[in-house]
Amino acid sequence: KKIPAYLCPMLKSTLLKATQAGGKVLQQYFNGSFQISSKSSVNDLVTEADKNAETAIFSAIRENFPQHFILSEESGELSTDSNVKWIIDPLDGTVNFAHGIPICCTSIGVEQDGEMVMGAVYNPFMNEFFFAEKGKGATLNDKPIRISAKEDLNKACLVTGFPYTWEDSENNPITIFEHFVKKGQPVRRLGSAAIDLCWVACGRFDGFYEHSLNAWDAAAGFLIVEEAGGKVTDFSGKRYSPYQRTLIATNGLIHQSLVDVVNGKR
């Protein structure tokens, strides 16, 4: 009988190596000169660093697992016949990166038989490496992390993100933001969904919400938050899956209150 891949130490070492390789490419390009082009809109950017980080990640994975399925932002689905899928954001926070703002990372999640089993997020500029394995907790630079203990949404420090392009009038991010701004509540906008999630996991933020994410933005961070004791759902309150567009991640204690605000019920 096949050993589950998440029990396979090689899967973990490959994930760590691939994530480090991506982060190293980001460091090499940061603040240097690199090509930048636009994708869906003039400010939806992709740089040479995104593409070369992706190449470095692919080769680290393929060295050990040439048959595995890959879903990656800049290359799409590279599918083969495998029950293991690597969900990759080679550079999360491209706009920050292009402006020399060191809030960006490489994010990689590993899914097995439809379930996230491992995730790693590496911000080389702050020397922060987040990692989680299903059932084994979450760590920052090898030390265990926990979500915050804040019970009152009114006293919470939140983070959000805004999409590059507007898809629907539902879940209008301006209306939700306005609600908090009018109350004088701190809502940050870091510009990297993967880092937003990790900062919920380690208790810096009490909650994060965003309404137009892709699988690669949140696959790793989702597991990291859950393994740090937090809760991750879509805007309706159902357990999140990386194939959902909307996401709310919290310490669990303020979750329902945040779901209510996002749905205009508070």
Helix (H) or strand (E) holding 255, with range, is: helix 255-262
Which of Ca ion, ligand IPD, none is residue 213 near (CB under 5 to 8 Å by kind)? ligand IPD
Nearest distance from C-beta of residue 217 to ligand IPD, angstroms: 5
Which of Ca ion, ligand IPD, none is residue 227 near (CB under 5 to 8 Å by kind)? none
**Residue 192 binds ligand IPD (CB under 6 A):** yes
One residue of 58, 65, 73, 206 binding Ca ion per CB under 5 A: 73
Residues 137-176 that bind ligand IPD (CB under 6 A): 161-163
Which of ligand IPD, Ca ion, none is residue 257 near (CB under 5 to 8 Å by kind)? none
**Residue 217 binds ligand IPD (CB under 6 A):** yes
CA angle, residues 259, 260, 261, in degrees to nearest 5: 95
Name the region of 101 (left: φ>0; alpha: ψ -120 to 50; beta: rest).
Answer: beta
DSSP string across 47-113: EHHHHHHHHHHHHHHHHH-TTSEEEETTTEEE--S-SEEEEEEEEE-HHHHHTT----EEEEEEEET
Nearest distance from C-beta of residue 252 to ligand IPD, angstroms: 23
d(C-alpha 259, C-alpha 237), whole Å: 6
**Residue 111 binds Ca ion (CB under 5 A):** no
Alpha helix segments (H runs only) across 150-248? 173-182, 193-201, 215-227
- Residue type at 93? G
CB 194 within 8 A of CB 220: yes
d(C-alpha 16, C-alpha 118), whole Å: 10
Residues 133-192 that bind Ca ion (CB under 5 A): none
User: Which CB, 54 or 227, lies closer to Ca ion?
Assistant: 54
Residues 66-125 that bind ligand IPD (CB under 6 A): 89, 92-94
DSSP, res 236: T
User: Which CB, 210 or 226, lies closer to Ca ion?
Assistant: 210
**Residue 217 binds Ca ion (CB under 5 A):** yes
- Residue type at 77? E
One residue of 191, 207, 221, 242 binding ligand IPD per CB under 6 A: 191
d(C-alpha 31, C-alpha 50), whole Å: 14
**Residue 196 binds Ca ion (CB under 5 A):** no
Which of ligand IPD, Ca ion, none is residue 161 near (CB under 5 to 8 Å by kind)? ligand IPD
Nearest distance from C-beta of residue 212 to ligand IPD, angstroms: 6
Nearest distance from C-beta of residue 203 to ligand IPD, angstroms: 20
- Residue type at 31? N
Nearest to 107 by CA among 126, 136, 86: 86
Range in contact with Ca ion (rule: CB under 5 A) among 6-14, 90-98, 201-209, 238-246: 90-98
Q: What is the contact surface with ligand IPD in residues (CB under 6 A)?
A: 89, 92-94, 161-163, 191-193, 210, 212-213, 217
Residues engaged in binding Ca ion (CB under 5 A): 73, 89, 91-92, 94, 217
